[in-house]
Chain A
Amino acid sequence: MAMRQTPLTCSGHTRPVVDLAFSGITPYGYFLISACKDGKPMLRQGDTGDWIGTFLGHKGAVWGATLNKDATRAATAAADFTAKVWDAVSGDELMTLAHKHIVKTVDFTQDSNYLLTGGQDKLLRIYDLNKPEAEPKEISGHTSGIKKALWCSEDKQILSADDKTVRLWDHATMTEMKSLNFNMSVSSMEYIPEGEILVITYGRSIAFHSAVSLDPIKSFEAPATINSASLHPEKEFLVAGGEDFKLYKYDYNSGEELESYKGHFGPIHCVRFSPDGELYASGSEDGTLRLWQTVVGKTYGLWKCVLPEEDSGELAKPKINFPETAEEELEEIASENSDSIYSSTPEVKA
């Protein structure tokens, strides 16, 4: 029987979601962090989308957010000219790193000892997280604001993207090794360590380059301007989303468009596969994150595959508005009436 994708909508943000990142796979599952223009990045359980907590402290839009591999630390980049490092277990703010302009991107090294930041001041900064008072190392060279900066090649190199270039830097010598130029604005960049692949989006193009040489591997054209794309860990699929509000799924080997999904009510700003490849998350101008199954119909997370023999009349009926306890009902009523910090929405809006 043909099954139709049921995206899971994660609500809670009140403004556009501009960045999202998954942690690695930890003994407690994997986690997802979302950056939002409302200044309140949120941590969620990666396989269900359940909200865990909100990092409170930034005084401006949060443009970038990331988690370290074991999801014990989070880092955020904001329009308040700071990057912050957080304890992702307790939600406490650990460090505020002052910058001279809007910070757009943050990335941890594999061992979580260093944080890379970049932003509108066109400088890459490397902070030693064991010595937060020390001045960061700075790398200059970009001629326009940095949109994304990533560690690569086992943290020995740095990839950074500004409006029209992608540059590769050597960490030890802090010098530029290679660069790529584009005619159109680079909208996103993703680094895949296994296979050293770089995914770059610009205009309607989704391009794949070697992260070591920056040589092009292949590229695909989408029907609309793409803002973000992600390659599946096993490199079978890629997903992309952009200005037409749709998510596209392509076969990586053939370039064939396999699926397109409607659902968001605004342009998609970010899309990422989970570390196990079973789902991908998209963040949109509409203020929501949505989780999508890679294999539609598979039982995973909150998706439950019901085989025809098991049909008891509950098939294809999502259990909506099913508060487990009376407390949840009270909270719903309370949140509608009271002046809460977040505009939390009830479990379901029909």
Chain B
Amino acid sequence: MQTPLAVPVPVLRLPRGPDGLSRGFAPDGRRAHLKPGAPESQECPVGQGSQESQEQRVRAALRERYLRSLLAMVGRQVSFALHEGVHVTAHFGATDLDVANFYVSQLQTPIGVQAEALLRCSDIVSYTFKL
């Protein structure tokens, strides 16, 4: 006796697994306010708390401005001042996640033009470009 072909119960998604990067226990998780060092501690008056969050807001705003400046640079001619007084110019392409390297093209160096190159940010002292 064959039962009619049953339909598997639909699921919204599969359970999330480990992120592979950290041990988890997300600071923004559901139970975050239960963590030690949260509102329980008496040494953390409300005034200080709001000053810290004010600072954090400012930091976040500055970071956002910086990231937007990188976006604005894409495709433009940028002058880089490197160590030892070396200056190069290039068309800015992209940066990596940690802003450790800049991907550039048409890099004009004292010894010639490089079609594609990676500039190490640790080698860069400053850079300027016109908007």
The segment from A49-57, A133-141, A172-180 that touches chain B is: A49-57
- Whether a CB of chain B sits under 8 angstroms from the CB of A293 is yes
B14–A8 contact, CB under 8 A? yes
Question: Are A48 and B15 touching (Cβ within 8 A)?
Answer: yes
Known: A51-B24, A54-B24, A87-B36. A5 touches B9 (CB 8 A): yes
Given known A28-B31, A335-B20, A344-B20, contact A316–B8 (CB-CB < 8 A): yes
B111 within 8 A of A: no
Q: Does B1 contact A (CB under 8 A)?
A: no
Which residues of chain B from 1 to 57 have any CB-CB distance to chain A below 8 Å in the complex? 3-4, 6-21, 23-26, 29-32, 34-36
**A8 cross-chain contacts in B, Cβ below 8 A:** 11, 14-15
Which of B6, B10, B18 sits near A2, CB closer than 8 Å? B6
- A303 pairs with B9, CB closer than 8 A: yes
- Centre residue among B13, B32, B34 by max chain A CB count within 10 A: B13
A9 touches B9 (CB 8 A): no
**Closest Cβ–Cβ distance, residue B89 to chain A (whole Å):** 31
Contact partners of B9 in chain A: CB under 8 A: 3-6, 293, 296-297, 303-305
A89 at the interface (CB under 8 A from B): yes
> What string of 1s and 0s marks CB contacts (under 8 Å) between A5-48 and chain B?
11011111000000000000000110000000000001110001
B17 near A345 with CB under 8 A, answer yes
Is A91's CB under 8 angstroms from B11's CB?
no
How many B residues face the partner with a CB closer than 8 A?
A: 29
CA–CA, A51 and B15, complex, Å: 7
Q: What residues of B have a CB within 8 angstroms of the CB of A224 in the complex?
A: none
CB 8 Å contact bits of A241-254 with B (1 = contact, 0 = none):
00000000000000
Q: What is the chain B residue whose CB lies nearest that of A324? A: B13
What is the bound-complex CA distance between A53 and B21, given in angstroms? 11
CA separation between A148 and B4, bound complex, in Å?
43
Taking CB atoms, residues of chain B closer than 8 Å to A9 are 14-15
Interface size for A (C-beta < 8 A) is 59
Query: Smallest Cβ distance from A37 to chain B, in angstroms?
Result: 16
B18 contacts which of A6, A12, A28, A304 (Cβ < 8 Å)? A12
Q: How far is the CB of A184 from chain B (nearest CB, A)?
A: 35
Are A51 and B16 in contact, CB atoms less than 8 angstroms apart?
A: yes
Q: Are A4 and B36 in contact (CB under 8 A)?
A: no
> What residues of A have a CB within 8 angstroms of the CB of B26 in the complex?
52-53
Q: Tell me whether A344 and B15 are in contact in the complex, defined as CB-CB below 8 angstroms, given that A87-B36, A304-B10 are known contacts.
A: no
> Which residue of A3, A297, A303, A344 is within 8 Å of B17 (Cβ)?
A344
Contacts of A89 on B, CB cut-off 8 Å?
Answer: 25, 31-32, 34-35
**Cβ–Cβ contact B3 & A51, under 8 A:** no
- Tell me whether B34 and A72 are in contact (CB under 8 A): yes
- CB-CB nearest in chain B for A10: B15
A52 / chain B contacts, CB cutoff of 8 Å: 24-26, 29
In the docked arrangement, what's the CA distance between A148 and B6, Å? 39
Q: A2-B7, A90-B36 are in contact. Are A319 and B15 (CB under 8 A)?
A: no
Task: Sample 8 A-B pairs with CB under 8 A, ordered by A number.
Answer: A6-B10, A48-B16, A52-B24, A304-B9, A304-B12, A306-B10, A316-B8, A318-B11
20 additional A-B pairs beyond A89-B31, A318-B11, beta carbons within 8 Å, are A1-B6, A1-B7, A2-B3, A6-B8, A6-B11, A11-B17, A12-B18, A48-B15, A51-B15, A51-B18, A53-B24, A90-B25, A296-B9, A302-B11, A316-B10, A318-B13, A318-B14, A335-B21, A341-B20, A345-B17
A interface list, Cβ under 8 A from B: 1-6, 8-12, 28-29, 42-44, 48-56, 72, 87, 89-91, 291, 293, 296-297, 302-306, 314-320, 322, 331, 334-335, 338, 340-345, 347-348
